[in-house]
Amino acid sequence: MQNQTVPSDSPLLELRDLRTGFALREGYVKAVDGASFSVARGETIGVVGESGCGKSITARTILRIAGTNDSELGGEALFRRRTRDGRPGEVVDLLKLAPNGREIRSIRGAEIAMIFQEPMTAFSPVHTIGNQIIEAIQLHHPVSKDEARATAIDMLRRVEMSNAERRIDAYPHQLSGGMRQRAMIAMALVCRPQLLLADEPTTALDVTTQAQILALIRQLKAELGMSVMMITHDLGVVAETAQNVAVMYLGKVVEYADVRALFHDPKHPYTQALLASIPKLGREAGARLHPVKGMVPSPFNRPRGCPFNTRCPKAMPGVCDVDMPGPTTIKPGHTVSCFLYGAGDTRTEAAQ
Amino acid sequence: MLRRILGRGQPVAAGVPAATAEPTQPLETETEKHDYAVASEWELMWYKFKRHRLALICGVVVLLLYVVAAFVEFIAPYNPEAQNPAAAYQAPTRVHFVDAEGNFHLQPFVYGTTSQRNPDTFELEFVEDTSVIHPLQLFVRGDSYRMWGLFDANLHLFGVEDPNVRLYLLGADRQGRDMFSRIVHGTRISMSIGLVGVVMSFVIGIVVGGISGYFGGTVDLVVQRIIEFIRSMPTIPLWLGLAAALPADWSILQIYFAITVILSLIGWTGLAQVVRGRALALREEDFIMAARLSGTSRTRIIVRHMVPSFMSHIIAALTLAVPEMIIAETALSFLGLGLRYPAISWGVLLQEAQNLRSIALAPWLLAPGAMVVIAVLALNFFGDGLRDAADPYKR
Amino acid sequence: MGRYIIQRIVLTIPTIFAISIVSFVIIQLPPGDFLTAYITTLESGGQVVDQAQIDALRNQYGLGEPVHIQYLKWISRTLVGDFGYSFQWQRPVSELIGERMLMTIILSVASLLLVWAISLPIGIYSAVKQYSPGDYFFTFISFIGLGIPNFLLALVLMWWAYSYLGMSVGGLFSQQYADAPWSLARVLDLLAHLWIPAIVLAVGGIAGLIRIMRANLLDELPRLYVTTARAKGMKEGRLVLKYPVRVALNPFVSTIGWTLPGLVSGSIIVSVVLNLPTTGPMLLTALQSQDMYLAGAILLLLSVLTVIGTLISDILLAWLDPRIRFN
Amino acid sequence: MSVAEQNAARSSDTARARHRLLDVRKLTKHYPITEGLLRREVARVRAVDDVTFHVDTGETLGLVGESGCGKTSTGRCLLRAIDPTSGEMVFDYGDGRVVDIAKLEGRALKDLRKDMQMVFQDPFSSLNPRWTLLDLVGEPLVAFRVAKGRELEDRVAELLRRVGLRPEYLRRYPHAFSGGERQRISIARALALNPRLVVADEPVSALDVSVRAQTLNLLEDLQQELGLTYIFISHDLSVVQHICDRVVVMYVGQVVEVADTSSLFFTPKHPYTEALLSAVPKPDPDLASSRIVLKGEVADPSNVPKGCAFHPRCPYAVDHCRQVEPKLETLGDGRQVRCHRAHELSLSGVE
């Protein structure tokens, strides 16, 4: 276990060149291949990308629940723990903790919690939601069952679940999708974590329910003073919730910027292409969309050089398809990994 | 799980990336991709099945068993009914490569046997006569038989030239009949009864399952109740009850078919459920609706869409149903309520092993049981492999 | 829940009715009515047949009347516990099968418990430690177990015990207790003998259920709710037992629907081989000598008991699974 | 005027004058909920309830709403993939033949397939994995005996080229293609018989963002080239605004508002439309999210609230709304809305 002393104004979580790989029968997958960004206290960071870009695995790697024990991890994930009396404590590298050891378990749920896309399958179908929430409390606090139950009901009320006293004894299949997601949020937040990893929390929901859930997350974030990592493929959700955004493509963070800069002045050709390809409500109707050409390459067959070079309209032959660009800082808080803005700390494919 | 996380919309089958739509895209491994891209369902299943080494081996064993069943007269060295009182309960003949003088022979050989009664126990004891070597030979003339009822022959796959020397590879029974020849002959009935029974169950199953799935509603509900009812009954007593009612004067062939009918009367339920389950799942598939909306006729949808879609599953289910039938026939015959002498099946042969004293005296009487186990295991592993390969498109 | 139980119980009534029809059909199957067979048996034994008795019997069983009347007469007597008369044993059937039926139930239930006690933990182990040497070992063993018919196993076991241990493993009682009245000593004697046939009978079921538990659990382990529980900070062992095992238990419990008929079925033939005082050997001899009332009664009772066993398991399942309970 | 409109107008100049292609009147689809062996009906799901709208040639009509609103059932009724409980669907072949789709049987129903086709949401389950592209795309051509052998291959190759796939892919199986490509195959099949109307049921929802735009552009191009009419079913309002000329908004089986796209998006008349528009997350951090967050959940179609189905969630509901079910009214400018207070409310649309 490696503990370092870092100034107290340091971020809550800092990812440094995070890498996660899996050996599957079909081949080796670099699911996350160099993700570096940090999450400040009280901030919402958006992580966007298309399916297979590694955004979910990034979150799961932070909690150390990505895949099985045979996944290969690299880089650092420095997390500032909370002391017993709620003040900032020591910094641990989450990746160096034993996979299911005592320390990571004391962080999971208590300091970093996670909610998922499918609230139906995220709850055990044969236990009441109350049972599952109470368990979450008792795992981290030495309270009696009755106390835990009272806390759980209180939390259900806070996620605006009507009839919380009765619904606490409901089974997941007895609730609607929106209610299940509320229960999920209640379970995740019941121990007042410092960081909430929200993995596509509204993708499976209807628009009006999505609006309710996003408003709820925003409100609870303010109340509990936590940070949120909002993982989504929906640029609209990011624009409305996040202060800073990391754009991922094939396991790499290609651009990191504050939300205004990202939407108004995107630098990476992928970010630009992504923004040009979505229809925007209220935009002059009829304007033609500009799609990114081609498909996301298979994770088993990553292109050489910059992962985006095969689809990039500005790709420079002999450069982009040879070397991997490193992150280049354009201005404070805005980094981009693209040769158009410099090479960054270039690493060649061969060197890996 | 990983696959689910990694790619929501992307097939990551067999390690080959999806082809690209844009003609401008470089296709580096074009040939390799091409093979996979144009591989039909059966080819994909074969790729998948091949990886299952044990299932492959067991498939070969099953094939061998059926080849044996087809050519029993030729493969068995003797007529299974040929009695030899002098050889009652004779132990398996030992096949030697090294003779009494310690010389090595490339061709395996056996010694003649003489029997004498032990003066103390009054049991027959067999002693090898090491003076003469009788080599084992291929394609030996011996007992004559009528092959498939078509022509007479007397050629056997292997044996000993000297008609006075009997080869008992798996020993002899009470009447001195060659167990090996009898087991080989038993293969025909035991292996085929499984096949015929499964075909019969399949016909019942596909008709009933099809009706159930096609009409749905109340018909389906009633059929489901019937299936549940049959499945909730203990089968062996039921089989026994039905088999006991077969007239004693029926011929082997009549009994044979009666037994298969009895076995399939109960065995069809599993297959009907497979058929129904697949039919219901298929009904939900968009491509069936797409075919309908394309103007494709109902018959063509059934023949070209539905049937091919569950063919592979049905074949796997059928394979897995064969061993159940084999066990059932063996059990019935073993209890004396199935096939009877003079029919020869593994179950009939095992009747000889009912008596503890005979087994103690001649453990080789259990050999037909070993064949049952081999056949059942081989079919189980083979069927398991088929089932795993049955859906190459599973995501 | 109460409604479900009532519904489930009501649903078994047609099943039991159907069973009674099947049993009746089997009684009727042998050619000629059984009285003729009975008379032949008596005469061949040199006994004088009393015509008055024959007529009384003929009337009692409704022979010569339409089939449905015969059925009604038979079923109404059966319902009050009169299963007819065994001509082979010259005693009423109900007197004959009581204890043997009990032995069948004891044997089947003991095997069922054994099946569960062994296959559950092994199945869990195999799934959690997938592809470990232990998993391969149990997978291999369970495949072998599935492939060996239990009567063959019984035969081999008997031969092995006889030839190498010099003991006989047949029977459920030692000689001195075979016909003794029930006592503690007799129960202990029964338990001492029960385990061998119970194991023989259970092997197939154990093998099958290990496969099922393993497959079910492997289905459940990658589910999102397991990840959720892990993300809460639960210990791995407790997590596996509380969530995926609990969910995988439901299809496992529902296998009782065919495990039980299978065990009852198997007990017949294993009992014949091991010469156990259950209904098995009695059913076989009854069928061989066409003592059809005895055979029919055994068939009927075995099936009804199986259906009741399945009913109990279904109710247990509903109690376990809220998705059934509330729908 | 939207691109789609321009295209449609252009094609209608050359081909056929714009006219009423399909008229749906009081379309209803109820599913009984039965219980027990006797299948006693205990309730009914009002999947589609008294739906009325029309489609003109060359236009793209959007059908929007949340899950369970009946948009997919409506689409399937139109194609007779499912049989409606009641109602009329009058289809004009443009050659003098006018038919009620609801009453078609046998031969006549099969004939309809030539002019009406469907594109499915799930690019995986809508293509039989055992068939090659030739079989799949050629299926309608074979079913109607339009082409076979060499000619079939040529026609299918042409169709593949048209949707942006290489004609050499003829012998390949769907498993070799990604979701976006499969959706192109699906579109090629729908176009094989040169239909007049294509019902596209969430054709881009299962696709990744970047691929989604490719597919939308393709649909637009095809409409322009072939003078197609689309019924575009979607829950995604930004996609609907982009591609549709007119929009039908549905809530719990009923049409609540019909209007041309820009009127609907900029000046909605039904409170549900307003809430829906406000709920869509906009990909622009500067648009302050002054959003209407609706209370409660979408009503259960098997237990529709009395009065206006939307009243339990409606911020403007008055007593009258709780008592009396509103009718779909036509306003002065040809827009239709199902709301008692449509005249008095001033609702806000997108900026």
- Which DSSP string do the residues of C54-71 spell out, in sequence order? HHHHHHHTTTTS-HHHHH
What CATH class is the domain B181-389? Answer: mainly alpha
The answer to whether B95 contacts chain A (CB < 8 Å) is no
Are the beta carbons of B17 and A300 separated by less than 8 Å? yes
Helix (H, G, I), strand (E, B) or coil at B140: strand
Chains that touch B (3 or more CB pairs under 8 A): A, C, D
pLDDT value at residue B7? 35
Of the ranges A12-16, B268-272, D38-42, the best mean pLDDT one: A12-16
3-state secondary structure of A205: coil
| Chain A residue nearest residue D285, CA to CA | A239
Mean pLDDT within C132-148: 86
**What is the per-residue pLDDT for B31?**
40
pLDDT of residue B10: 35
Cβ <8 Å between A29 and B2: yes
Q: What is the pLDDT of residue A286?
A: 63
Q: Is C156 on the interface with B (CB under 8 A)?
A: yes
Chain C residues in contact with B380 by the CB 8 A cut-off are: 143, 146-147
Q: Examine the pLDDT at C3 and tell me if it is beyond 80.
A: no
In this complex, is the C-beta atom of A289 within 8 Å of any C-beta atom belonging to chain D? Answer: yes
A160 interface with D at CB cutoff 8 Å:
no
Q: Which of A344-348, C102-106, C242-246 has the lowest mean pLDDT?
A: A344-348
Q: Measured between alpha carbons, how far is B45 from B387 in angstroms, rounded to an integer?
A: 10
> pLDDT tens across D85-127, in order?
999 999 998 888 899 999 998 889 999 999 999 999 888 889 9
Question: Collapsing DSSP states into helix, strand and coil, what is residue A13?
Answer: strand
Q: B210 — contact with chain C (CB < 8 Å)? A: no
Rounded distance, CA C132 to CA C122, Å?
A: 13
For residue D75, the model assigns a pLDDT of 94
Single-letter amino acid code for the residue at B31: T
Per-residue tokens: C262: 């299978």
**Host domain of residue C107:** 103-280
Q: For residue D339, what pLDDT is reported? A: 93
CA trace torsion A214, A216, A217, A220 (10° rounding): 160
From D63's Cα to the closest Cα of chain B, the distance in A is 20
Beta carbons of A237 and A263 less than 8 angstroms apart: no
- Average pLDDT in chain C: 83
CB contact (8 A) between residue D265 and residue A273: no
Mark yes or no for CB contact B13/A26 under 8 Å: yes
Question: Which range (A21-25, A177-181, B205-209, C60-64) has the least confidence?
Answer: C60-64
Q: Which residues of A touch C236 (CB under 8 A)?
A: 100
Quick check: A313 contacting D, CB < 8 Å? no
The predicted structure's pLDDT at residue D52:
93
C250: CATH = 1.10.3720.10
Residue with the larger pLDDT of the pair A7 and B217? B217
Q: B367: closest CA among B50, B91, B39, B37?
A: B91
Report yes or no: B293 at the D interface, CB cutoff 8 Å: yes
D128 → chain B, closest CA residue: B287
- Say what the ipTM of the complex is: 0.80
C176 domain-assigned: yes
Residue A182 CA to residue A159 CA, distance in Å, equals 6
Q: Give pLDDT, residue B254.
A: 86
Of the given ranges (A235-244, B237-246, C266-275), which has the lowest mean pLDDT? B237-246
Of B1, B8, B10, the CB nearest to A298: B10
- pLDDT beyond 50 at A294: yes
Task: Answer yes or no: is pLDDT of B119 > 80.
Answer: no
pLDDT of A4: 46
Instruction: Tell me the shortest Cα–Cα distance from C233 to chain A, in angstroms.
Output: 4
HSE-CB at A118 with a 13 A cutoff on CA atoms is 14
For residues D278 and A6, give the distance between their C-alpha atoms in angstroms, rounded to a whole number.
44
Task: Give the per-residue pLDDT at D36.
Answer: 63
B-D CB pairs within 8 A amount to: 110
Contacts of B200 (CB under 8 A, 6+ apart): B260, B261, B264, B268
Q: Helix crossing, C224-231 with A55-63: angle to 10°?
A: 40
- As a whole-number percent, the residues of chain C with pLDDT over 70 amount to 93
Q: Above 60 in pLDDT, residue A296?
A: yes
Percent of chain A with pLDDT over 90: 50
> Is the Cβ of A176 closer than 8 Å to some Cβ of chain D?
yes
* Nearest by CB: D166 against B23, B290, B297: B23
The rounded mean pLDDT for chain A is: 87
For an interface test with B, give the residue of D37, D116, D118, D139 to mutate (most B CBs within 10 A).
D139
Q: Which of B84-93, B332-341, C206-215 has the least mean pLDDT?
A: B84-93
Chains near A with 3+ CB pairs less than 8 A apart are: B, C, D
Minimum distance, in Å, between the CA of residue B322 and any CA atom of chain D: 27
Q: Which of B1, B57, B65, B233 to mutate to test the interface with C (most CBs of C within 10 A)?
A: B233
Nearest residue of chain D to residue A287 (CA atoms):
D3
Confidence of residue B4 (pLDDT cuts 50, 70, 90): very low
The stretches in chain D having pLDDT less than 50 are 1-4, 6-16
Kindly report whether the peptide bond that precedes residue C14 is cis, defined as omega within 30 degrees of 0.
no
DSSP state of B9: S
Most confidently predicted of B204-218, C36-50, D209-223:
D209-223
Work out the average pLDDT over A142-155. 94
Closest approach of chain A CAs to the CA of C223, in angstroms? 7
Any idea where the domains of chain B sit in the sequence? 1-38, 82-176, 181-389
Pick among D182, D237, D242 to test the A interface (most A CBs inside 10 A): D242
Q: What is the per-residue pLDDT for D251?
A: 93
Query: In C, residues 62-101, which contact B (CB 8 Å cutoff)?
Result: none
**CA D257 – CA D338 distance, rounded (Å):** 6
pLDDT 10s digits, B38-66: 777 778 888 888 888 888 898 999 999 99
Given A63, A116, A173, which is nearest C323 (Cβ)?
A173
Q: What is the mean pLDDT of residues A250-266?
A: 93
Distance CA D162, CA D156 (A): 10
Average pLDDT over residues B173-185: 85
- The count of CB pairs under 8 A between chains B and C is 130
Measured CA to CA, the distance from residue B82 to residue B100 in angstroms comes to 30
Residue D90 and residue C231: Cα distance in Å, rounded? 56
The pLDDT value recorded for residue A347 is 45
Note the pTM of the prediction, 2 decimals: 0.82
Can you give the pLDDT at residue B251? Answer: 84
Query: Mean per-residue pLDDT for C83-106?
Result: 84
Nearest neighbour of A121 by CB, restricted to C224, C229, C234: C224
pLDDT the model gives residue A232: 93
Q: Is D211 on the interface with A (CB under 8 A)?
A: yes
> Between chains, do A291 and D208 touch, taking CB under 8 Å as contact?
no
* B85 vs B203, more confident: B203
Instruction: Give the mutation candidate from A248, A249, A296, A298 for the B interface (greatest B CB count, under 10 A).
Output: A298
Question: What DSSP designation does A342 have?
Answer: B
pLDDT at B16: 33
Note the pLDDT tens digit of each residue in C227-271: 999 999 999 889 999 999 988 888 787 777 778 888 888 888 888
d(CA A194, CA A211): 23
